[in-house]
């Protein structure tokens, strides 16, 4: 039986990375194979080709081969894993009152995570300089090579042009419209930068870290209301211009004439967001001593059984549930996750949203639907950013960048890896 050597002309994929190399690394990254024999069996490659590619990936520091910890007789088997030093992913989750930053290795293990207290209305330069400075410090404190930051992923709380790396006409974000976020961070961190909507990343985090079933719809209820959709194939749905999921500006079913920040009246975000609930109860969002005062005070009132607070939360949840019922019919998700500050009141919020959805949506769309609050306690955006970054690194184009400075073993003349620039 002929074994594929991985070097035929059709084996050269995007970025001119040898097919054999991509097969070997793909099997290890996915966990489908953990040793050389398994790789040869699953890939169909000759053992000599597998050995050659594994030796190259170990030599360049992308993979490491270590003794298994399983208890076996005789010599412990050796297993292949992604090296902890193969590179770093940086994730930034920008929000209204503060931003979260994290660094992770290419296995998606978070190494360090911190909160940067800087308000979004301070403007993009102030926010981005603060988070890039904190990331640089995290890299230094944790002995991570700044030259091996493989990608920086940023989540912004507004519509995002994914290709251009900037926010597009966001509400409540003065100075951010069209500001070159990706370019700004590239200059400071010297790494590729991807910018996405924050709820898209939260949805991806729920799928990859919390193992939620797809299709998944994530609803963030915060200063405004936004959503992110992960398709059945695990992809983020962004729409033609990055505006997919901006559901806070759908007109509420109740038909209220409350003025929204967008200039329209009756938007569900103006009626049912976390900010709207606080405003209706006369609770300030923050104080000098506590930037999250509103979140804490609302939780206290609900826990103590304050009837006015309970009514406000349940009414907001009902308004949201009416809109969500329309989305359930349109996208037929398997999982609906509620996130954001209001999701901390999970019993009252989830039960009221669930009631509205089941009342308005037909049984076919809801018979297998799970409605729940986030399990990741504010970390879903960071986990989603890390997941998106590692996907990019191990894509064909990402592998070309990863291996660009390294020689291909023995067959460089036939399968060159060019400079991605």
Residue pLDDT, tens place only, 366-384: 999 999 999 898 899 999 9
Predicted local distance difference test score (pLDDT) of residue 10: 36
- Provide the 10 A C-beta neighbour count for residue 118: 19
Tens digits of residue pLDDT in 157-174: 999 999 999 999 998 899
CB 77 within 8 A of CB 68: yes
pLDDT digits (tens, 9 = 90+) for 2-56: 445 444 433 334 445 788 888 999 899 888 999 999 999 999 999 999 999 999 9
Coil/strand/helix, residue 226: strand
Q: How far apart are CA 220 and CA 157, in angstroms?
A: 10
* The two structure tokens encoding residue 109: 């293990």
Judge whether residue 293 has pLDDT over 90: yes
User: What is the CATH topology of the domain spanning 211-373?
Assistant: Nucleotidyltransferase; domain 5 (3.30.420)
CB-CB neighbours of 22 under 10 Å: 22
Q: Are 116 and 98 in contact (CB under 8 A)?
A: yes
Output the pLDDT for position 409.
Answer: 46
Quick one: average pLDDT of 405-409? 48
Q: Is the peptide bond before 260 cis (omega within 30 degrees of 0)?
A: no
- Own/partner pairs, 279-283, CB within 8 angstroms, 24+ separation: 280/312, 281/308, 281/309, 281/312
Q: Average pLDDT, stretch 106-118?
A: 96
Q: What CA–CA distance (Å, rounded) separates 7 from 22?
A: 12
Q: How many residues in the chain?
A: 421
Say how far apart CA 359 and CA 418 lie, in whole Å: 58
* Close Cβ partners of 216 (under 8 Å, ≥ 6 residues apart): 203, 206, 207, 229, 230, 333, 334, 335, 336, 337
CA distances from 164 to 195, 267, 323 (A): 8, 28, 30
SS3 251: strand
Lowest mean pLDDT among 164-178, 185-199, 235-249, 393-407: 393-407
CB atoms within 10 A of CB 208: 20
Q: What is the Cα–Cα distance from 211 to 208, expressed in whole angstroms?
A: 5
CATH superfamily of 88-202+380-393: ATPase, nucleotide binding domain (3.30.420.40)
Identify the bridge partners of residue 12 per DSSP, sorted by sequence position. Answer: 18
Q: Helices marked H in 225-367 — which ranges? A: 268-272, 274-281, 293-303, 307-331, 346-360, 363-366
Domains 9-83 and 211-373 share a fold: no
Angstrom CA distances, 188 to 39, 152, 191, 358, stand at 39, 11, 8, 49
Measured between alpha carbons, how far is 23 from 17 in angstroms, rounded to an integer?
10
Q: Are 141 and 111 in contact (CB under 8 A)?
A: no
Q: What is the pLDDT of residue 33?
A: 92
Confirm if 269 and 248 have CB atoms less than 8 A apart: yes
Place of tokens 């729409």: 239
d(CA 116, CA 344): 21
Between 405 and 276, the more confident residue is 276
Is pLDDT larger for residue 413 or for residue 384? 384
Q: Do the Cβ atoms of 323 and 361 come closer than 8 Å?
A: no
pTM for the full model? Answer: 0.88
Task: Point out the least confidently predicted range of 26-30, 130-134, 266-270, 310-314.
Answer: 26-30
Residue 138 near residue 92, CB atoms below 8 Å: no
* 286-292 LR contacts (CB < 8 Å, sep 24+): 286/97, 291/97, 291/98, 291/117, 292/97, 292/341
Q: Where are the alpha helices (DSSP H) in 194-292?
A: 198-208, 268-272, 274-281
Spelled out in words, what is the top-level CATH class assigned to the domain 9-83? mainly alpha
What is the band of 307 on the pLDDT scale with cuts at 50, 70, 90? very high
Residues 6+ apart with CB under 8 A from 421: none
Enumerate the domain spans of the chain.
9-83, 88-202+380-393, 211-373
Percent helix, percent strand, percent coil in the chain, to nearest 5:
45, 20, 40
Residue 348 pLDDT grade (very low, low, confident, very high; cuts 50, 70, 90): confident
Q: Would the pLDDT of 278 be above 50?
A: yes
């Amino acid at each position: 039986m002929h074994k594929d050597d991985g070097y035929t002309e059709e084996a050269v994929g995007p970025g001119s990375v040898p097919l054999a190399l991509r097969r070997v690394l793909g099997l290890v990254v996915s966990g489908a194979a953990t040793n050389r024999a398994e790789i040869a069996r699953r890939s169909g490659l000759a053992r000599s080709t597998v050995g050659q590619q594994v030796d190259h990936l170990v030599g360049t520091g992308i993979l490491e081969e270590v003794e298994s910890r399983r208890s076996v007789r005789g010599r412990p088997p050796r297993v292949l894993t992604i090296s902890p030093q193969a590179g770093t992913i940086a994730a930034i989750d920008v929000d209204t009152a503060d931003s979260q930053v994290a660094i992770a290795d290419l296995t998606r293990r978070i190494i360090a995570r911190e909160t940067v207290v800087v308000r979004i209305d301070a403007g993009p330069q102030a926010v981005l300089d603060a988070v890039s400075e904190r990331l640089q410090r995290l890299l230094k404190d944790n002995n991570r090579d700044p030259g091996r930051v493989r990608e920086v992923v940023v989540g912004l709380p507004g519509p995002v042009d994914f290709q251009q790396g900037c926010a597009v006409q966001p509400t409540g974000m003065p100075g951010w419209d069209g500001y070159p976020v990706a370019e700004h961070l590239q200059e400071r961190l010297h790494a590729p930068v991807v910018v996405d909507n924050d709820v898209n990343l939260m949805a991806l985090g729920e799928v990859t870290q919390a193992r939620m079933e797809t299709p998944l719809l994530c609803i963030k209820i915060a200063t405004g209301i936004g959503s992110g959709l992960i398709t059945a194939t695990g992809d983020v749905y962004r729409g033609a211009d990055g505006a997919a999921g901006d559901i806070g500006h759908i007109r509420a079913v109740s038909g209220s004439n409350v003025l929204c920040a967008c200039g329209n009246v009756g938007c569900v975000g103006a009626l049912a967001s976390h900010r709207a609930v606080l405003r209706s109860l006369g609770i300030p969002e923050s104080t000098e001593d506590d930037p999250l005062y509103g979140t804490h005070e609302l939780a206290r009132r609900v826990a103590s059984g304050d009837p006015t607070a309970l009514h406000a939360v349940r009414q907001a949840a009902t308004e949201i549930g009416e809109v969500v019922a329309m989305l359930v019919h349109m996208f037929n998700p398997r999982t609906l996750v509620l996130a954001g500050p209001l999701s901390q009141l999970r019993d009252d919020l989830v039960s009221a949203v669930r009631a509205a959805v089941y009342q308005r949506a037909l049984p076919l769309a809801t018979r297998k639907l799970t409605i729940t609050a986030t399990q990741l306690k504010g970390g879903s955006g960071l986990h989603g950013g890390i997941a998106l970054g590692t996907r990019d690194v191990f894509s064909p184009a990402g592998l070309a960048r990863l291996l660009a400075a390294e020689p291909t073993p023995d067959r460089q003349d036939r399968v060159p890896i060019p400079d991605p620039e």
